[in-house]
Amino acid sequence: MLYLIGLGLGDAKDITVKGLEVVKRCNRVYLESYTSVLTVGKEALEEFYGRKLILADREEVEQNADNILKDADLSDVAFLVVGDPFGATTHSDLVLRAAKRGIPYRVIHNASIMNAVGCCGLQLYNFGETVSIVFWTDTWRPESFFDKVKKNRQNGMHTLCLLDIKVKEQSLENLIKGRKIFEPPRFMSVNQAAQQLLEIVQNQRIRGEEPGIEETLCVGLARVGAEDQKIAACTLQQMCTVDLGGPLHSLIITGGSMHPLEIEMLNQFSISEDTSESKSIDGL
């Protein structure tokens, strides 16, 4: 049996009791290591589970899936995923490969950023399409995700923006020369995301459009589910300078009209008292 087990979002103890039981009894346990990270590393998980984990990077999962699935029809193999196995990143590909080989699979769900963002008080009902914001390079500066944000806002829906993660990335030079030297991991902050968004707004204005979302209320979330989780509610402009600390960050662009309970919840996280304005969220 192949078990896809969600680890939740915080630390080692966010695994479910059921998930932990399965981890303890499986023959091999893989840890997916390229789409998300916990606030604790592999070693902390190994200590808590009392067993060794095999790191599975993107290459392993996408190109060497056969290694992971080996003998999974005869014995139990676990594939651990930060968040939920079908959350922000789906592992459909691995599931389908297992199914094709007649290997039964089971999913042990957990919280993912896709539902845990509800902790800021915005109702999950009212979210439209989720977008990803990627690190821009000198030559690749995609803006198309912003159309989805605008469409969500036109429909009064909030937008969850998942922020880029670069793990095991090679420089162009190392890639060309085939050197397996990897850059340090990078995680996009809400500041970087807000700056890119404002740059897109500027570009659209130059083209004669009027996206005007600088003053829109946004919510920055860091390390959701962890002890030191931080949430800040402020304008996109203010979001450029908020300090939410270490990764992972996510950003929500609100949809305009909000339920009174949503506003009251967000008021808890308003950073306006840190600024000279000190205005309540209702006024935004």
For its own copies, the binding residues (CB under 8 A) are 6, 8-18, 20-21, 84-88, 90, 92-93, 95-96, 99, 107-112, 114-116, 118-119, 121, 123-131, 151, 155, 157, 224-225, 261-262, 264-265, 268
Distances (CA, A) of 219 to 32, 204, 226: 28, 23, 17
User: What's the closest the beta carbon of residue 251 comes to its own copies, in angstroms?
Assistant: 15
| Radius of gyration from C-alpha coordinates of the chain | 21
Q: Which is nearer to its own copies, 185 or 256 (CB)?
A: 256
Spatial strand order in the sheet of 249-253: 131-133, 159-163, 249-253, 217-222, 230-235
Q: Which two tokens stand for residue 164?
A: 């880029």
Q: Which is nearer to its own copies, 4 or 239 (CB)?
A: 4
Residue 174 half-sphere exposure toward CB, CA atoms < 13 A: 9
- Quick one: which of 24, 6, 26 has its CA closest to 15? 6
Binding positions for S-adenosyl-L-methionine: 9, 84, 87, 112-113, 163, 224, 249
Strand partners, 219: 233, 252
Q: Which is nearer to its own copies, 109 or 230 (CB)?
A: 109
User: What's the closest the beta carbon of residue 111 comes to its own copies, in angstroms?
Assistant: 4
Q: Which is nearer to its own copies, 44 or 240 (CB)?
A: 44
User: What's the closest the beta carbon of residue 83 comes to its own copies, in angstroms?
Assistant: 8
User: What's the closest the beta carbon of residue 249 comes to its own copies, in angstroms?
Assistant: 17
Binding positions: 9, 84, 87, 112-113, 163, 224, 249
User: What's the closest the beta carbon of residue 99 comes to its own copies, in angstroms?
Assistant: 6
Q: Widest CA span of the chain, in angstroms?
A: 65
CA angle 116, 221, 190 (to 5 degrees): 140
Q: Which is nearer to its own copies, 224 or 242 (CB)?
A: 224
